[in-house]
C-alpha cells in the first residue's frame, strides 16, 4: 500500500521535505543518522540538477549533509507515460545496517542507496511535478508546480515495529495466524 497526498500548487519542495523529515524523525522517531535523501542529477546533462531540493534538505532538516546524494533519471525523475506531467523527485531511504546486506560475502559488493542488496530500503518518494512532456519529447514548465508524495505503508510499519518482513507486522500476523 502507498501512503500519499497531493499538493496542487498549495506547497512545494521546501514544505514537502520539511514535513516528511518531521514526520519520520519527530513523530515516528526514526534515527536521523540512518536516513538518506536522494535528489535528481541528470546523467545526460540535458536537465538541471535539482539543487533546490538539495538546498532544502540542508536548510529544512538536520540530515547529515553526506547523506544527500544524487541519482539520475532511472531513480530520481518521475514520468507516468511518454507524455504528460513529470519532474524530478527526492527519495528518502533508511539504512537497515550492514547485517541487512545479503551480499556481504561477495568480494566486489559495495552497499549503497539504490544498490542491489537489502541494506537500504526506500521509504518515501517526493515527486516534484514541474514539467509537462509534450508529444515531441520537449519538457515545458507547468504554470503551477505540484507535489505527489508516496510512502510505503508496509515498509514503514515493518521498520517502526522492528521486524524484518511486512508479513511479520501486526497488519498481517493476525490474518496469517487465522
Q: Is the pLDDT of residue 40 over 90?
A: yes
Task: List pLDDT tens digits, range 10-33.
Answer: 999 999 999 999 999 999 999 999
Q: Say what the alpha-carbon torsion angle 7, 13, 16, 18 is, to the nearest 10 degrees.
A: -160
Rounded percentage of the chain residues whose pLDDT exceeds 90: 93
Rounded percentage of the chain residues whose pLDDT exceeds 70: 100
d(CA 48, CA 46): 7
d(CA 103, CA 117): 6
pLDDT at residue 9 in the model: 87
Largest CA distance in the chain: 54
Place of cell 521535505: 17
Residues 6, 92, 104, 158, CA torsion sign: negative
Mean pLDDT score, 58-62: 98
pLDDT at residue 1 in the model: 86
CA-based angle 52:54:58, to the nearest 5? 115
Q: Is the pLDDT of residue 96 over 90?
A: yes
Amino acid at each position: 500500500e502507498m501512503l500519499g497526498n497531493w499538493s496542487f500548487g498549495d506547497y512545494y519542495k521546501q514544505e514537502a521535505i520539511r514535513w516528511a523529515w518531521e514526520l519520520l524523525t519527530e513523530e515516528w522517531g526514526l534515527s536521523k543518522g540512518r536516513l538518506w535523501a536522494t535528489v535528481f542529477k541528470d546523467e545526460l546533462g540535458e536537465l538541471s540538477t535539482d539543487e533546490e531540493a538539495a538546498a532544502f534538505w540542508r536548510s529544512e532538516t538536520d540530515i547529515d549533509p553526506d547523506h544527500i546524494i544524487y541519482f539520475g533519471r532511472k531513480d530520481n525523475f518521475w514520468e507516468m507515460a511518454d507524455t504528460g506531467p513529470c519532474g524530478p523527485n527526492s527519495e528518502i531511504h533508511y539504512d537497515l545496517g550492514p547485517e541487512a546486506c545479503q551480499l556481504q560475502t561477495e568480494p566486489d559488493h559495495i552497499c549503497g542507496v539504490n544498490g542491489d542488496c537489502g541494506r537500504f530500503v526506500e521509504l518515501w518518494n517526493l515527486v516534484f511535478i514541474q514539467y509537462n512532456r509534450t508529444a515531441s519529447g520537449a519538457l515545458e514548465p507547468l504554470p503551477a508546480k505540484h507535489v505527489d508524495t508516496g510512502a510505503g505503508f508496509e515498509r514503514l510499519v515493518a521498520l517502526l515495529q522492528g521486524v524484518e518482513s511486512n508479513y511479520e507486522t501486526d497488519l498481517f500476523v493476525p490474518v496469517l495466524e487465522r
